[in-house]
Structure 1
Amino acid sequence: MYSIRQFLDEKGREVWSVREDAPVIDALKLMAEKNCGALVVLDEDDRLVGVVSERDYARKVVLHKKTSIDTPVSEIMTADVVTVTESDSLDKCLSIMSAANIRHLPVVTGQKLVGVLGIGELVQHQIEEKEGEIHSLTQYVSGALAYR
């Protein structure tokens, strides 16, 4: 079974983050620059304290007529963060993301943030893995039929 450790070793462990006291506009600029839909939120000791997403911005700033310049990330972030470890499987992560209705999943080792998974990249990996299995089975069946 494919672990998160293997997945992160292949994709990389770069994490884009913002401080909890930063204005929301800074988070939005970084999301636009990195073309991503969410950032992890860190405190002054680099501990994971939340996740902020475009959805948080739309629902907690725009709809409440707040400004992204005057609102700190800590006011709109999701503080109850669901995390996984490097030893977890991709299937488990997809199941967690589906059940919790989340699109981004931080990976931690102890208290240390070691990566972030996006649902799109996990689904893409699963598709590629299944296509490989189909190809192998097709080759196997074709070879078996050729010897009849």
Structure 2
Amino acid sequence: MSTVADILKAKGSNSIYSVAASDTMLLALQRMAEKGVGALLVLDDAHIAGIITERDYARKIALQGRSSAATTVGEVMTRKVHCVSPEQSSEECMSLMTSLRIRHLPVLNAHRQLLGMISIGDIVKEIISAQQFTIQQLEHYISGAPPVHV
């Protein structure tokens, strides 16, 4: 069973993309597009103040006819942010994301330091990879070939 730490390691760079609550939504959208992500953490110093997502933009800016250039991130960000630890399993994260209907989870260590962020896509990729490995092992077992070790 893979852990959040495994997922972060597989992602390679643990770059944390963020904005400040005082930044405009236009800047946040530009940063999301530039980084190819659907969410940014809103940081106050090194502490999580919230999260801003494409969904927040669609529901709180676009549908309400607000201006991205005139609206700050702090006005529309989601303030209650659910976080996970590196020790949690991918299955636990999938369950949490599904029950809360969220797509992103910041990762904090035991000292509450931000280590990175995982997305539903990261979780799905990890689960598919684990299933493919299991299938390969079963195929080798059935055919009598030696097992593949990772």
TM-score (norm 2): 0.90
Rounded to whole Å, the distance in 2 between the matches of 1:114 and 1:65 is 36
CA distance in 2, matches of 1:111, 1:120: 24
1:46 corresponds in structure 2 to: 46
| Deviation by residue 1:67-93 (Cα, 9 ceiling, x = unmatched) | 111111011111000100111111111
| CA-atom RMSD in angstroms | 1.3
How many angstroms apart in 1 are the aligned matches of 2:6 and 2:129? 15
**Structure 1: distance between partners of 2:5 and 2:36:** 24
Q: How does 1:79-118 map to 2 (within 5 A)?
A: 79-109=79-109, 110-118=111-119
Task: Measure the CA separation in 1 of the matches of 2:19 and 2:37.
Answer: 13
Amino acid at match of 1:134: I
Structure 1 gaps of 5+ residues are: none
SS at match of 1:88: coil
2:148 alignment partner in structure 1: none
Distance 2:7 2:122 in 1: 10
**Segments ≥4 residues shifted beyond 3 Å:** none
Task: Tell me by how many angstroms 1:8 deviates.
Answer: 1.4
1:111 offset after TM fit, Å? 2.6
Structure 1: distance between partners of 2:43 and 2:18: 7
- Indicate the SS of the match to 2:144: helix
TM-score by length of 1: 0.92
CA distance in 2, matches of 1:9, 1:128: 14
- Is residue 74 from structure 1 mapped to residue 79 from structure 2 by the alignment? no
Q: Is the 8 A contact 2:7 2:122 kept in 1?
A: no
State the one-letter code of the partner of 1:71.
T
Structure 2: gaps (5+ residues): 146-150
For 2:125 and 2:112, locate their aligned partners in 1 and report how far apart those are by CA, in whole Å.
28
Instruction: Measure, in 2, the Cα distance between the counterparts of 1:128 and 1:94.
Output: 15
CA distance in 2, matches of 1:4, 1:121: 10
Q: Aligned partner of 2:141: which letter?
A: Y
Cα distance, 1:113 vs. partner? Answer: 1.1
**Secondary structure of 2:102's partner?**
coil
Match of 1:39, SS?
strand
What fraction of aligned residue pairs are identical, expressed as a percent? 41
